[in-house]
Chain A
Amino acid sequence: MTEDYHVQSPVLKLEDVAISYETRYGDVEAVRQVTFDVHRATTFGVVGESGCGKSTVAFGIVDFLGANGKIVGGSIKFQGRELVGRSQAELRKLRGDQIAMVYQDPMQALNPSVTIGDQLAEVLTTHRGISKAEAWEKSIDMLSRVYMPDAANVMNRYPHQISGGQQQRVVIAMALLNNPALLIMDEPTTALDVTVEAVVLDLIEDLKRDFDTAIVYITHDLGVVARVCNYVGVMYAGEMVETGPVEVIYGNPLHPYTQGLMRCVPKLGSTKESSILYPIRGRVPAPKDRPKGACIFAPRCDYATDRCRTEGPKLREIEPGHRARCFCSEEIEAAAWQPPEGLVPELAPSVEVEEKPLVEVRNLKTYYEQESKSLLSLVGLGEKLYVKAVDDVNLSVPAGKTLGIVGESGCGKSTLAKTIVGLESPTGGQAEFLGFDISEPVSERDLNLIQELQMVFQNPDSTMNPSYTVGQQIGRPLRRFKTAPPNQIHDKVVDLLNAVRLDGSYYRRLPRQLSGGEKQRVGIARAFASRPDLVLCDEPVSALDVSVQAAVLNLLMEIQREHGTTMMFIAHDLSVVRFFSDYVAVMYLGHIVESGPAEAIYAPPYHPYTEALLSAVPIPDPTAEQKHIRLEGTVPSALNPPSGCVFHTRCPRRDMLPDGGKICEMEVPPWRYNTEEHRIFCHIPLEDLRQMEPVVTTA
């Protein structure tokens, strides 16, 4: 794996690079002392949380820093030649030709008004000066090399006519057309669904082999790094704190920050106990608060000594090929780490299951009417089209338990949540909560009922009103639902703030003074203010950094256990749901395809879709064995879902049925009950499903 590491000269060599941005209040140093090198046919992953400067480094390599960014120190050598200080004209010749970039959002990288073929050909005609016809041929060839089905036809389409995964493949093809020596990829799969991401990641792994390119891969996802990268550089608060080969970094991290990261990343653990997440205490320092003469991680480090607080460590080689920016790496024994007091909450024991479920949903349908453009529909005679967001869903949630709902985008999980909570009206079916009918929208419901059903939202930046203080916003539900007399509201709000591990001094803060994690905690405090019986969490941690995710998830668990609240937790990530939920339901295209107790979902028998989801999730463990099941095609439109079993168009397990699965196209599948609580929505008989092997086996 580490062949020729020292022998070949690197394609890209960064040494002590420092980049600053001009702001109204002076220069802010975004990145400093970044050192790493990348060789041919290897992928170097730059991993870190938001704000650590990894994108700044990526853009800085080609000086794409915008009007107010500049490289203030260090050297960047590409194939031995210095890049810092070159003029824009010279850099323009390099970009697109020898150094190519792939960005996060393919819709922003592709021109929506030019066909794919024209955009691809333009890369060649500009840099290579060849004829359009020849460029066209080469482009088709490249598209098939990135596994694009029906490449010749795709050339004539516009970007909006192909799916997200295909768009990203086009962008990668564009980047590779000139056979660049260096490819920089900035979170290329973050915007894609898990199953689509898996296919694109397979492609990226193959790129090394086929094209001999050096790749710099920027991401925050430790699972993706484990899958595609050979070497890893970990960044924290603008500095590179550890570099080394991927198995070594994951197996034996030397820097306390890396060790902390490994402990808070959700893994598809085999048991619930091994899935506990340990957050890193404290908060990332803002760029203007970063000390120059001290270790930048010292305030959050469990091992910090006085030397760490007064002297800044350098990136030094501790084992061959493995460097860390720490004075104490040799003394720290990661395996002996114990969580400090209060880091992980003491959980009250889980309550016994009661007979009557708190929420019961039967045959729920929520359809959105599609505005038809035909003339007939103006008169009301046209055929009505419906987006079948939620189609015939049955589920029940026992009181005091957590139900996790998992699915990719477009599966209807958010619509299901909104229907239960009353922000959408159901088109059919019944829904009951505490024995009351909740099929009316929230504006028609009784205030006492509204009080019992609250929600935690996904995006921390939009969950709070920017014009009011934290105290006012948490106090509003208390006032509205009259949960407390007016003179006690201030005290109650401070109690709630303490319950979400925030100091009472946050009462007078405005949302823009809070970090993402803190805003989300306030959102949780607000949702729990009126002591609701049911709280719906709509992807509450998806927008947060990994180390903050762990803290917020632990907090939710603690509050839930303490108050006995029932929770429905929506996520697109099976590993996050694992440790948190008592029950899990998997959704696809408006239907629930599998549901049951959490341990049952992660072990066979699986529904074929669950199996594919589990095999697509990138696991942050390079030594783990994971089955390689990939879904063909894309998610069908909910306007016109497939007949019979909605999954039949992509199901990789159809061959388990006698006639290749003809019945899947014609009939709606039955529910197969593996145990009383674990059910699978599939035609395949239960004995065959039980023969499946587990998807993930850890070493």
Chain B
Amino acid sequence: MTVSEQTMPKAAPRPSRLRRLWEGISIIFASKVAVVGLIIVLFWVFAAIFAPLLTPYTPTEQDYVAQNEGPSGAHPLGTDDLGRDIWSRLIYGARVVLVILPIGEDFWIPGGTAIWGVILGLLVGSTLGLMGGYLGGWVDEVVMRLLDAMMAFPVILLYMIIIAAVGASATNVVLAIAIVGTPGIARLVRSLALDIRTRDYIRAAELRGENPWYIMFVEILPNARGPIMIDAMLRVGYAIFAMGTLGFLGLGLPPPSPDWGSMVAKGRQYILSGSPWAALWPSVAIASLVVGLNLFADGLREESLRYQ
């Protein structure tokens, strides 16, 4: 009759850092949809980062001899009405959106307008959402009415008002994206907070007399990060689409900046005369990036819920 076993069980050994990273990444690979989306997005990111290596032209180099040409050996996607290489304009255009944010004349920080716009929107939106969801009461009412007021404007109209008011520069576009995205993010975070605040660990925190800001940002927010991140990825897509629309309406970054939307606007006149390339390729670029982000986010969401 063997008797004792240790009364204190040892926990199973914690998997190594590398293994945990691998397990996190493998969730992406488990979904074909997410992989397709990721490939598309990564394609544009790499194209934007390595832009100077991927084309011999600059985005503003004009060639009066080769205007509105179709794809050829010299210009893989053709040229626009001023003879500029479309491929170069596309990948340099991707830079401001995805990779680099110019602040002022000489200074820039990594991450494009779409990314920073969404980040700023996340900061403000999460704060408002947490306050409304956790504090409840009249704070919630005020926050919700504020958000309702913002959401009452049609999105493009709101963008136009903001850009018209403050002017079209990269930082202002970031601001506009943040303002437009805040209500949606705030609502999402608020509904997550409403659910999480019923949990016992929040009661335990209240029983320690923790102050509300601690509970909101340290206890609640980290547990909401899954849905928030997926929503953020979708919002980057929406932001890119919105910037395309703004560019199309003439409110994008001023020329000769390679803004995809204004490329479409410029190229629109030449479609019927047999040179659709200047309008086609930027449209495909916008569509592919947005679709790629959507696929990635959707695939992740589906995979994370699959074995629930």
> Within 8 Å of chain B (Cβ to Cβ): is A697?
no
Residues of A within 8 A of B7 (CB): 281, 342-343, 501
Residues of B within 8 A of A453 (CB): 207
B219 contacts A465, CB within 8 Å?
yes
Residues of A within 8 A of B5 (CB): 281-282, 299-300
> Within 8 Å of chain A (Cβ to Cβ): is B206?
yes
> Within 8 Å of chain A (Cβ to Cβ): is B2?
yes
Binary flags per residue of A28-54, CB closer than 8 Å to B gives 1, else 0:
000000000000000000000000000
Q: How far is the CA of A91 from the CA of B230 in the complex (A)?
A: 40
> Within 8 Å of chain B (Cβ to Cβ): is A459?
yes
Binary flags per residue of B183-203, CB closer than 8 Å to A gives 1, else 0:
000000000000000011101
* Stretch of B10-18, B112-120, B165-173, B174-182 that contacts chain A: B10-18
- Which of chain A's residues has its CB closest to B30's CB? A24
Q: How far is the CA of A302 from the CA of B3 in the complex (A)?
A: 6
Q: How far is the CA of A464 from the CA of B7 in the complex (A)?
A: 23
Number of chain B residues whose Cβ lies closer than 8 Å to a Cβ of chain A: 28
Q: How far is the CA of A155 from the CA of B62 in the complex (A)?
A: 82
Given A342-B4, A465-B223, A503:B9 Cβ within 8 A:
yes
Binary flags per residue of A429-463, CB closer than 8 Å to B gives 1, else 0:
00000000000001101010010011101110011
B11 contacts A421, CB within 8 Å?
no
Q: How far is the CA of A342 from the CA of B3 in the complex (A)?
A: 11
B208 contacts A480, CB within 8 Å?
yes
Closest beta carbon of chain A to B62's beta carbon, Å: 54
- Which of chain B's residues has its CB closest to A469's CB? B14
> Within 8 Å of chain A (Cβ to Cβ): is B154?
no
Residues of A within 8 A of B14 (CB): 508-509, 513
Residues of B within 8 A of A281 (CB): 5, 7
Residues of A within 8 A of B148 (CB): none
B204 contacts A457, CB within 8 Å?
yes
Q: How far is the CA of A282 from the CA of B219 in the complex (A)?
A: 32
B209 contacts A464, CB within 8 Å?
no
A506 contacts B11, CB within 8 Å?
yes
> Within 8 Å of chain B (Cβ to Cβ): is A8?
no
> Within 8 Å of chain A (Cβ to Cβ): is B8?
yes
B307 contacts A443, CB within 8 Å?
no
Closest beta carbon of chain A to B305's beta carbon, Å: 12
A442 contacts B207, CB within 8 Å?
yes
Q: How far is the CA of A502 from the CA of B201 in the complex (A)?
A: 20
> Within 8 Å of chain B (Cβ to Cβ): is A466?
yes
A466 contacts B204, CB within 8 Å?
no
Binary flags per residue of A358-396, CB closer than 8 Å to B gives 1, else 0:
000000000000000000000000000000000000000
- Which of chain A's residues has its CB closest to B220's CB? A465
A450 contacts B2, CB within 8 Å?
no
B11 contacts A480, CB within 8 Å?
no
Binary flags per residue of A492-517, CB closer than 8 Å to B gives 1, else 0:
00000010011101101100011000
B199 contacts A462, CB within 8 Å?
yes
- Which of chain B's residues has its CB closest to A441's CB? B206
> Within 8 Å of chain A (Cβ to Cβ): is B302?
no
> Within 8 Å of chain B (Cβ to Cβ): is A627?
no
Task: Find residues 258-304 in chain A having any chain B CB closer than 8 Å to their own CB.
Answer: 281-283, 299-300, 302-304
B204 in complex: contacting residue of A445, A447, A526, CB < 8 Å: A526
Closest beta carbon of chain A to B208's beta carbon, Å: 5
Q: How far is the CA of A523 from the CA of B10 in the complex (A)?
A: 18
B8 contacts A457, CB within 8 Å?
no
Q: How far is the CA of A498 from the CA of B3 in the complex (A)?
A: 21
> Within 8 Å of chain A (Cβ to Cβ): is B61?
no
Closest beta carbon of chain A to B298's beta carbon, Å: 18
> Within 8 Å of chain B (Cβ to Cβ): is A675?
no
Closest beta carbon of chain B to A24's beta carbon, Å: 6
Q: How far is the CA of A447 from the CA of B211 in the complex (A)?
A: 12
Residues of A within 8 A of B306 (CB): 24
> Within 8 Å of chain A (Cβ to Cβ): is B53?
no
A502 contacts B208, CB within 8 Å?
no
Residues of A within 8 A of B222 (CB): 465, 467-468
A282 contacts B203, CB within 8 Å?
no
Q: How far is the CA of A304 from the CA of B4 in the complex (A)?
A: 12
B200 contacts A459, CB within 8 Å?
yes
A503 contacts B8, CB within 8 Å?
yes
> Within 8 Å of chain B (Cβ to Cβ): is A423?
yes
> Within 8 Å of chain A (Cβ to Cβ): is B1?
yes
B307 contacts A442, CB within 8 Å?
no
> Within 8 Å of chain A (Cβ to Cβ): is B141?
no
A-B pairs, 10 with minimum CB distance? A467-B222, A457-B200, A462-B199, A465-B201, A450-B209, A462-B200, A463-B200, A340-B3, A503-B8, A505-B11
